A and B are shown apart, each in its own frame.
Chain A
Amino acid sequence: MKVGVTIAALFATGLAGSVSAQTELSLWYHGAGSANAEEALVNQLVEEFNANQSDWKVVIETFPQLAYNDAVGAAALAGELPDILDVDGPVMPNWAWANYMQPLGIDEAKLEGYLPGPIGRWNGEVYSVGLWDAAVALSTRRSTLEKYGIRVPTLDAPWSLDEFNGALEAIAASGDFEYPLDLGMAWKGEWYPYAFSPFLQSFGGDIVDRSTYQSAEGALNGDEAIAFGEWWQGLFENGHVPGTSQDAADRETGLLDGKYAMSWNGNWAALPVVEAFGDDALFLPAPDFGNGSKIGAASWQFGISATSEHPEGARAFIEFALQDRWFAAFSDGTGLIPSTASAAADTVNYAPGGPLEVFYGLSEAQALVRPVTPGYIVQAKVFEKALSDIANGADVADTLDAAVDEINEDIDSNGGYGH
């Protein structure tokens, strides 16, 4: 009798176990150690997904951002990729091309109304989607512009090149500030292509020729690019911006401390400006240097690894994350821009009348994703070095020619990167 009861109990336990068993999905996330609320929100998202259905259980592993991309590369080599990958937007084409990722396979109708930045496309397919984006603007004070008789630009009527240069000269001539403009030269790495390549694109150049992605010739060293390079160098030569050795502390608080009249900075740094200047705070669109105002786009996104044995589970998780309530929660927690207008309406900062509403408009109207090519990760570093060298006095045409050669050699040695 006892044996019968035991067998029945074991059977029942096993049955119950099989009914409630969730298949494990691994998720790698880049934000270990991040001081903001992002990591907590990702954990909350995972917990809610796990609790809301019975098929899948997402297990998260967090990495420090500094090590994340290298860790993914090594894991791909060893065949140890997770099911769900967190990927920086401009890096995604490289991972897709290198077979680290597979297309998301979600209905694109669900992505209607999204800002352009959070959707990661490669070879005509969506590989990744983000819950947020970021935007850059010229932060300043209305009173500063009024004092020097400078027109307040708008999205519809941004500053032209001449107006922008005139504004810098007027402020510089006053001697009221250490520098008229802070570009954030204390920041390195991805900041350069993210924040500065839109200037080049507004001049009419680019990091690479986007029509073929097979060469940077003409794009990065054509007349427009040289005009950009000379203007860029002039900013430093004329003392309009701090150089590449800018103090990191000044970058953080120089605008608030009155050292700089304007600061080229992201929405993530905007709230302290609002708090410090109140109604006097202004976030201005990028100047139009001849080919429309441009700002960078695309932030971190979720995608499915090429080796995932459960892409349907990974897809289910990503679709669960693509809800306005999560966009709004992440935006409220981190200050980033939600991916849709409907989510923005539910946020503290980006709702109509909110202190950062202008950034949603900037993102919607001016955002241009960085070159969508696997070679971008090399091109970004070449671009950074070229701009840094030019800022420090290198010959503009020679530097850009050398950058073009380096980019073209890389494209050639990688067989054109699959375009």
Chain B
Amino acid sequence: MALVTPDNSGLRLFTRYAVLVLVAVIFIFPLLFMAMSSLKPDQQLLADTNSLRAFLPVGDLSFNNYTDAFARAPIGVFVFNSVVITGVTVVLTLFVCSLAAFSFVFLDWKGRDVVFSILLATLIVPYETIFIPLLLMASQLPWIGAEGLEIGWLNTYRVQIIPFIADGLSIFLFVQYFKDLPRELIEASRVEGASWWTIYRKVVMPLSGPVIATAAILKFLFMYNQYLWPLMVVQAEEIRPVMIGLGYFTDQLNVPWGEVMAYLTIITVPVLAFYLSLQRVFIASVASTGVKG
């Protein structure tokens, strides 16, 4: 039996931290490259890619790329749109999918298992394969708005939100998590006369922080990175999301790399902020469910 002495425990700790620092550095390098490159003129940016200078704030640094990027594209509009579209979708997804999962786990209804199996089967269908029929449907759907009955959802916020609210993965995550909650809590609540709605609201959801964080982060990333769907359904500049905005920085032949890096840095901020705000619960969820982000 090996003895843990103060000496080798310190060495282990050092080794562990060294490995962690190395991994952290590897993961942070792309972000560092992006942020540093956003401060450099194109010529220097490209020249620096041959050395470690690419990751360092050296050379001719300025915020010119940011100024030029804002002059080239309505970045504020794109970020606002993406934050609104993503935020609303995440909130509605958490509500709708957790309710669906609650029904699958705690309510007893005919055909439940079959419906759940069908739902699971949808997990293997990539969104891209259904985009064309979805586009045709969206172009014919009715909507009652401020101007009365309208036909067609194209060129709206709702066409970027509603098709993505309910999804199999989020429901599956909630189902798996709800299954591990102590049944006694639910049964005790029922004995006390609580309604299913009350149990959902006051018992189940308050205990579901980790899965809420996981589902929220996964949905946030999916929605924030949407490109193909908004490309197909949105024509008006004022409701375009950030990924479409990236196209403003390329033409047939030339790419202003400094501006691209500035734009990417700007649009990465909401993602980082959202992830960092949920980091603790997300990691707890990963540790308990084995779900990778």
- What would be 15 A-B contacts, judged by CB atoms less than 8 Å apart? A35-B72, A61-B235, A64-B245, A64-B247, A65-B247, A65-B250, A65-B252, A70-B232, A71-B235, A75-B235, A78-B135, A78-B139, A79-B139, A191-B252, A249-B42
Residue among B43, B138, B232 with most chain A CB within 10 A: B232
Chain B residue nearest in CB terms to A194: B252
Contact status B232-A32, CB under 8 Å: no
Q: Does B154 sit within 8 A of A, measured CB to CB?
A: yes
Q: Does B47 sit within 8 A of A, measured CB to CB?
A: yes
Q: Does B237 sit within 8 A of A, measured CB to CB?
A: yes
The total of chain A residues at the interface (CB under 8 A) is 30
B204: chain A residues at CB < 8 Å are none
| A28-B235, A70-B232, A74-B233 as given contacts; A64 in contact with B132, CB under 8 Å | no
Residue from A33, A79, A189 within 8 A of B247 (CB atoms): A33
Q: Does B256 sit within 8 A of A, measured CB to CB?
A: yes
| A80-B154, A249-B47 as given contacts; A74 in contact with B135, CB under 8 Å | yes
Q: Does A109 sit within 8 A of B, measured CB to CB?
A: no
Contact status A78-B154, CB under 8 Å: yes
Contact status A74-B231, CB under 8 Å: yes
Chain B residue nearest in CB terms to A265: B253
Report the minimum CB–CB distance from B162 to chain A (whole Å).
Answer: 16
Q: How far is the CA of A7 from the CA of B89 in the complex (A)?
A: 48
Chain A positions near chain B (C-beta within 8 angstroms): 28, 31-35, 61-67, 70-71, 74-75, 77-80, 187, 189-191, 247-249, 252-253
B236: chain A residues at CB < 8 Å are 61
A252: chain B residues at CB < 8 Å are 254
Q: How far is the CA of A61 from the CA of B244 in the complex (A)?
A: 14
| A33-B73, A77-B132 as given contacts; A248 in contact with B247, CB under 8 Å | no
Q: How far is the CA of A187 from the CA of B249 in the complex (A)?
A: 15
Q: How far is the CA of A249 from the CA of B132 in the complex (A)?
A: 39
Q: How far is the CA of A64 from the CA of B254 in the complex (A)?
A: 13
Report the minimum CB–CB distance from A247 to chain B (whole Å).
Answer: 6
Q: How far is the CA of A187 from the CA of B42 in the complex (A)?
A: 16
Q: Does B61 sit within 8 A of A, measured CB to CB?
A: no
Report the minimum CB–CB distance from B99 to chain A (whole Å).
Answer: 32
Binary interface encoding of chain B residues 29-49 relative to chain A, with 1 for a CB under 8 A from any of its CBs, else 0: 000000000000011001100
Q: Does B91 sit within 8 A of A, measured CB to CB?
A: no
The 8 A-B pairs of least Cβ separation, nearest first, read A33-B248, A64-B247, A66-B247, A74-B232, A78-B139, A249-B46, A67-B247, A64-B248
Binary interface encoding of chain B residues 75-86 relative to chain A, with 1 for a CB under 8 A from any of its CBs, else 0: 000000000000
Q: How far is the CA of A78 from the CA of B74 in the complex (A)?
A: 27
Chain B residue nearest in CB terms to A26: B235
Report the minimum CB–CB distance from B69 to chain A (whole Å).
Answer: 10
Q: Does B207 sit within 8 A of A, measured CB to CB?
A: no
Contact status B46-A247, CB under 8 Å: yes
Chain A residue nearest in CB terms to B252: A190
Chain B residue nearest in CB terms to A71: B231
Contact status A187-B231, CB under 8 Å: no
Chain B residue nearest in CB terms to A250: B46
A34: chain B residues at CB < 8 Å are 251
Contact status A80-B235, CB under 8 Å: yes
Residue from B73, B231, B257 within 8 A of A32 (CB atoms): B73
Binary interface encoding of chain B residues 255-272 relative to chain A, with 1 for a CB under 8 A from any of its CBs, else 0: 111000000000000000
Contact status B46-A248, CB under 8 Å: yes
A191: chain B residues at CB < 8 Å are 252-253
Q: Does B22 sit within 8 A of A, measured CB to CB?
A: no
A249: chain B residues at CB < 8 Å are 42-43, 46-47
Q: How far is the CA of A80 from the CA of B153 in the complex (A)?
A: 11
Q: Does B136 sit within 8 A of A, measured CB to CB?
A: yes
